[in-house]
Amino acid sequence: MRDQFYKYIENLQDTICSKLEEIDGSAQFQQDLWEREEGGGGRTRVIENGAVFEKGGVNISAVHGPLAPAMQKYFKVGDVDFFACGLSLVIHPKNPMVPTVHANWRYFEMYDKTGTVLDQWFGGGQDLTPYYLFEEDAIHFHQVSKNACGKHSPEFYPEYKQKCDEYFWNSHRNEARGIGGLFFDYLKDSEEKSIENWYDFVIEVGDSFLEAYAPIVEKRKNLEYSQENRTWQEIRRGRYVEFNLVHDKGTLFGLKTNGRIESILMSLPPHVQWVYDHHPEPGSEEEKLLKVLEKPRNWV
């Protein structure tokens, strides 16, 4: 399973990067191959200063070795070994009318010291963070996600949408990071679903990503915007940074397992503002977004 899934994310990385380069039209992804001292490594690809994408990363990695003490405590296990692989992406467009997107699909195994698999599971999801709310874009993103889930179970979309709304919640601000999508974790072998069934589901979601995001970028990338729109985008990006550094489990896992810092922090946008006690104009498009972020909405 680990080899099968890694092969899948290698191919998916190629597909996504090619499509995003085509949309941008000027910038290309720079590739960085790296190795981890304790075992494994990855293939980081970053795009910067493009016509459409200000900064983005589409990274894959496969790491293994002894599980760090901090993570043993987190998983409530003893001295075990692990293998983890996944694709993680964050795309920050230049135009404030185009939303930021994040996605991640990952697989994890845990072994005893004889190499016997003790546990294995999949996790992941995809979510959208707009700066200006176009409701049809939110509906489109959620509809594609729902369609992918629906091929496997009618219960998946409502369950994983709710998990996404709960997970990407900036509790210290009492607001959502964005308009959500899907979030799932610890998808394990059970009587209802085998690990092979979960693999099929996760790749279904992975394959749906470009269909969910690319049409939105194409539709919004040439819209006009002002310096005020750009300032608002940078203020909202500050909230994105806060979530990733304060709450995000993936970031914290990477930092606690001696992960590669450049790959972990590639999710951070290049231009951000923190303005003291900032409030948008009443009745403005900016305020409209904040109202939606106060309470998760059912888009489809």
Q: What is the pLDDT along the chain (300 residues), one digit of tens a residue?
A: 999 999 999 999 999 999 999 999 999 999 999 998 889 999 999 999 999 999 999 999 999 999 888 888 888 899 999 999 999 999 999 999 999 999 999 999 999 999 999 999 999 999 999 999 999 999 999 999 999 999 999 999 999 999 999 999 999 999 999 999 999 999 999 999 999 999 999 999 999 999 999 999 999 999 999 999 999 999 999 999 999 999 998 888 778 777 788 888 888 999 999 999 999 999 999 999 999 999 999 999
- Res 105: pLDDT: 98
169 strand-pairing partners? 176
What is the C-alpha to C-alpha distance for residues 113 and 94, in angstroms, rounded to an integer? 48
Q: What is the pTM of this model?
A: 0.96
Which residues are tagged catalytic?
A: 102
Nearest to 9 by CA among 55, 59, 80: 59
Q: Are 162 and 180 in contact (CB under 8 A)?
A: no
Q: Are 124 and 103 in contact (CB under 8 A)?
A: yes
- Res 150: pLDDT: 98
Q: Give the single-character DSSP code of 267.
A: G
Q: Are 63 and 85 in contact (CB under 8 A)?
A: yes
Burial class (CB in 10 A: 0-12, 13-18, 19+), 65: middle
What is the C-alpha to C-alpha distance for residues 60 and 45, in angstroms, rounded to an integer? 8
Nearest to 146 by CA among 131, 163, 159: 159
Q: Are 98 and 106 in contact (CB under 8 A)?
A: no
What is the C-alpha to C-alpha distance for residues 149 and 143, in angstroms, rounded to an integer? 10
| Distant-in-sequence, close-in-space partners of 203: CB < 8 Å, separation ≥ 6 | 8, 105
In words, the CATH class of domain 2-293 is alpha beta
Nearest to 96 by CA among 229, 215, 227, 282: 229
Helices then strands (H, E): number in the chain? 9, 9
What is the C-alpha to C-alpha distance for residues 64 and 205, in angstroms, rounded to an integer? 25
- Res 260: pLDDT: 84
Nearest to 202 by CA among 128, 133, 103: 103
Sequence letter at residue 102: H
What is the C-alpha to C-alpha distance for residues 231 and 215, in angstroms, rounded to an integer? 25
- Res 258: pLDDT: 72
Alpha-carbon distances of 187 from 31, 156, 171, 209, rounded to whole Å: 31, 12, 25, 19
- Res 75: pLDDT: 87
Q: Are 147 and 130 in contact (CB under 8 A)?
A: no
What is the C-alpha to C-alpha distance for residues 211 and 226, in angstroms, rounded to an integer? 29
What is the C-alpha to C-alpha distance for residues 25 and 31, in angstroms, rounded to an integer? 18
Structure tokens at 92: 């920050």
Percentage above 70 pLDDT, the chain: 100
Q: Report the first-to-last Cα separation within the chain, whole angstroms.
A: 33
CB atoms within 10 A of CB 192: 7
What is the C-alpha to C-alpha distance for residues 107 and 243, in angstroms, rounded to an integer? 23
Alpha-carbon distances of 239 from 51, 98, 104, 179, 288, rounded to whole Å: 24, 17, 20, 14, 17
- Res 33: pLDDT: 96
